[in-house]
Amino acid sequence: MPVAEKRTTLQEYVTSEWQDKPQTSGLGAVIMAIAEGSCRVQALVQQAALADVLGVTGETNIQGEIVERLDTASSDIFVETLSQSGHVAAIGCEEIEKPVIVEGEVADGFIVLMDPLDGSSNIDVAVSIGSIFGIWRKRPDETVNDDSLLRPGNEQVAAAYVVYGSSTILVLATKNNVCGFTLDVGSGKFSVTHPNIKIPADCLYYSTNEGNNKVLDEPTRKAITLLRNKYSQRYVGSLVADFHRNLLKGGIFAYPADQNRKDGRLRLMYEANPLGFVVEQAGGAASTGFQRILDIIPKQLHQRTPLILGNKDVVEETVSVISAG
Ligand code: AHM
Ligand code: MG
């Protein structure tokens, strides 16, 4: 019997979690749209060059970064599945300059912010990549416009990410509950494999781009040195994969501000906020070095932020060194 048949499927999970709960009505459909999209994206990731999806499009995105063909394909797939879910009012996406306002908006709609393909530099070299989603409930009676997407991370109702690695795993976080589901490629179904994820008490790893050491300010360099002296280094260069390992094994990820990146490297709305939400629900913490990520009042859809997240005690210690100035 295929393994997936013996376990609770994602569909069963969302049905049992949220049916009869008006405040989360429709959220299950949004999650299943993410699952359907990620199933399609993982098929492209697996086929890679065979599906003719590797290489660059020749365009740069709103961040001025080179767009890989798989970035565009993933963005198109998730915009399609989320728009067709019937419960998404607007989508903000790393690859699309302006928000996608979904026609035929429904009253109980959600707003989804996404990085459809995280880890672009690893696409062509068969290293783990992923997708990241933050989910906000549309305000009652709100007519959605571009500004409707600029909500702080602490208003998220759920967040999810998918890692396309040696297996494909979807991690879903709602208030106080983080659950991991593994894809059975044969049936196309995700089933529970990692219930009730809590970040382990002991931090094993630190993940940072050591090549940036020379452009760090003195307090930040000191904070990274403390991490280097205590923990093993692991750095994939795909945020979602580095984050997932640290969540399951115990660890801290740091992409702080530096001389070349005064606002940091990573994006607030569809990288830092969703993963900040996940890590907090799993008992960890997420900070800029000076402020809780989820409390940032956003000004722009594509704004960047320094990001330090993982084990709460280690994040707090790191932040205290950085902010001591
Ligand atoms: P992407 O969303 O375009 O893939 O860029 C974000 C990625 C993260 O996944 C990763 O943590 C970071 O960029 C790596 O940056 P660097 O190569 O500077 O270490
Ligand atoms: Mg990314």
Could you tell me the two tokens for 224?
């990274």
Owning domain of residue 284: 205-324
Q: Whose CA is nearest to atom 18 of ligand 1?
A: 209
Query: Which pLDDT does position 67 carry in this prediction?
Result: 66
- pLDDT of residue 212 exceeding 70, the answer is yes
231 lies in some domain:
yes
Q: Which of 62, 289, 31 is nearest to 135 (CA)?
A: 31
Question: Do 122 and 169 belong together in one domain?
Answer: yes
Question: Do 188 and 218 belong together in one domain?
Answer: no
Distance 265 CA to ligand 1 centre (A): 7
142 lines ligand 1 (CB under 6 A): no
263 lies in some domain:
yes
Instruction: Tell me the average pLDDT across 281-296.
Output: 98
86 lies in some domain:
yes
Question: Do 54 and 168 belong together in one domain?
Answer: yes
How many structural domains compose the chain?
Answer: 2
Question: Do 151 and 212 belong together in one domain?
Answer: no
244 lines ligand 1 (CB under 6 A): no
Residues 6+ apart with CB under 8 A from 68: 54, 55, 56, 57, 117, 120, 123, 124
CATH number of the domain that 19 lies in? 3.30.540.10
Question: Do 128 and 218 belong together in one domain?
Answer: no
Question: Do 33 and 128 belong together in one domain?
Answer: yes
CATH number of the domain that 232 lies in? 3.40.190.80
Question: Do 253 and 164 belong together in one domain?
Answer: no
Q: Whose CA is nearest to atom 12 of ligand 1?
A: 237
Instruction: Tell me the average pLDDT across 290-302.
Output: 97
Query: Which pLDDT does position 81 carry in this prediction?
Result: 97
Instruction: Tell me the average pLDDT across 310-316.
Output: 98
Q: 222-278: per-residue pLDDT in tens?
A: 999 999 999 999 999 999 999 999 999 999 999 999 999 999 999 999 999 999 999
User: Which ranges in the chain belong to alpha helices (H)?
Assistant: 10-18, 27-47, 69-83, 218-230, 239-249, 273-281, 312-323
1 lies in some domain:
no
In whole angstroms, give the CA distance from residue 56 to residue 71.
Answer: 9
202 pLDDT tier (thresholds 50, 70, 90): very high
Which percentage of the chain shows pLDDT scores above 70?
A: 94
Question: Do 218 and 275 belong together in one domain?
Answer: yes
237 lines ligand 1 (CB under 6 A): yes
Distance 237 CA to ligand 1 centre (A): 6
pTM confidence score: 0.94
- Of the candidates 167, 194, 221, which is a domain's last residue? 194
Instruction: Tell me the average pLDDT across 184-204.
Output: 96
Question: Do 20 and 69 belong together in one domain?
Answer: yes
Question: Do 98 and 239 belong together in one domain?
Answer: no
For the CA of 65, the closest atom of ligand 1 is 3
92 lies in some domain:
yes
Distance 215 CA to ligand 2 centre (A): 22
317 lines ligand 1 (CB under 6 A): no
Determine contact, residues 322/291, Cβ cutoff 8 Å: no
For the CA of 119, the closest atom of ligand 1 is 4
For the CA of 211, the closest atom of ligand 1 is 19
Determine contact, residues 143/163, Cβ cutoff 8 Å: no
Q: Whose CA is nearest to atom 6 of ligand 1?
A: 119
Instruction: Tell me the average pLDDT across 83-106.
Output: 90
Distance 40 CA to ligand 1 centre (A): 23
Q: 117-175: per-residue pLDDT in tens?
A: 999 889 889 999 999 999 999 998 888 999 999 999 999 999 999 999 999 999 999 98
266 lies in some domain:
yes
Question: Do 133 and 239 belong together in one domain?
Answer: no
Determine contact, residues 85/32, Cβ cutoff 8 Å: yes
- Of the candidates 194, 220, 241, which is a domain's last residue? 194
Q: Whose CA is nearest to atom 4 of ligand 1?
A: 119
238 lines ligand 1 (CB under 6 A): yes
- Of the candidates 174, 194, 214, which is a domain's last residue? 194
Instruction: Tell me the average pLDDT across 55-64.
Output: 70
Question: Do 187 and 243 belong together in one domain?
Answer: no
In whole angstroms, give the CA distance from residue 15 to residue 122.
Answer: 35
